[in-house]
Amino acid sequence: MADFETAFARLAKDEGTGLSNDPADKGKQTFFGISRKFHPRWEGWSYVDRGETPPTESVRSFYRANYWIPVHGDQIESQPVAEALFSQFVNMGSNGIKLAQQCVGVIPDGKVGPKTLAAINSIDPGLFLLMYCVANVKRYHAIGMMDKTQRKFWPGWFSRSLRLVEAA
């Protein structure tokens, strides 16, 4: 079964561990990928507001509770698959899960339940990661085509997508 600590270390590479406030970013101000817009009550913002770095444990527990547990990462057999689903759920919310569900042929409802989990665990991890990479590239491309201000993120998004297949 997949390990959260390993997935968290990879997420740090995907998200970066610092503070960002790009005006074009739909999440607005972020720290370690945590968006103030979408998670205004996260305890780490009090540290950021004082000019301090939030404790890593605060970040770790946030990601475990809000992203790892909902994707049932501990029940995914393939570490690279769990890391990919976890990372993309962080980046694009339930759309990351819906893309995975489309790849494994279950109804895309944006929630990892028993059917999704069984389908993810039954598909060849390499095949899944390849399909998931392509699905993510297509999604990111569509976002940029609908909103030209988001195209500046394409290089990072596409790179993130391609990293999904590195461990395959």
Average pLDDT, the chain: 95
Residue-range domains of the chain with CATH: 4-163 (1.20.141.10)
Specify which residues 31 forms β-bridges with. Answer: 19, 34
- Predicted pLDDT of residue 141: 96
pLDDT digits (tens, 9 = 90+) for 113-134: 999 999 999 999 999 999 999 9
CA distance linking residue 40 with residue 152, whole number of Å = 25
Give the residue-averaged pLDDT of 102-122: 98
Residue 167 has pLDDT above 90, yes or no: no
Q: Which residue has the higher pLDDT, 166 or 125?
A: 125
CA distance linking residue 166 with residue 168, whole number of Å = 6
- Predicted pLDDT of residue 26: 86
For the entire predicted model, the pTM comes to 0.93
Residue 166 has pLDDT above 90, yes or no: no
Q: Which amino acid is at 126?
A: G
Q: Which amino acid is at 55?
A: P
pLDDT band at 37 (very low <50, low <70, confident <90, very high): very high
Residue 142 has pLDDT above 90, yes or no: yes
pLDDT digits (tens, 9 = 90+) for 55-68: 999 999 999 999 99
Residue 168 has pLDDT above 70, yes or no: no
Are 167 and 129 in contact, with CB atoms under 8 Å apart?
Answer: yes
CA distances from 75 to 28, 68, 124, 146 (A): 32, 10, 16, 36
Please state the three-class secondary structure of 105-135 as a single string: CCCCCCCCCHHHHHHHHHCCHHHHHHHHHHH
Report the candidate in 77, 117, 78, 90 with the shortest Cα–Cα distance to residue 101: 117
